[in-house]
Amino acid sequence: MPRWTEAEYETLRAAVASGVLSVSYAGPPQRTVQYQSLAEMRKLLADMEREVNGSTTPRSRLATFRKGF
């Protein structure tokens, strides 16, 4: 069972976009969270996105280089 809902993800995403550090989640349970920084919020947002979208591993791309033509 996911810890986060899509509604909570969207609420946090909107808060990050507006630059506020206090977020009220509708719940249940209904709660207000005061975050320490936007960096903390962005990290949580990335975690939430992976969970809501069903991905358990972060995606990354590595550059590859070849010698020659």
What's the mean pLDDT when you consider all of the chain? Answer: 84
pLDDT tens digits for range 22-44: 999 987 889 999 999 999 999 99
The answer to whether the predicted template modeling score (pTM) of the entire model surpasses 0.85 is: no
Q: Taking the alpha carbons of 27, 29, 35, 41 in that order, is the dihedral positive or negative?
A: negative
Kindly state the average pLDDT of the residues 47-63.
Answer: 69
Whole-number percent of the chain with pLDDT over 90: 51
Q: What is the pLDDT of residue 66?
A: 73
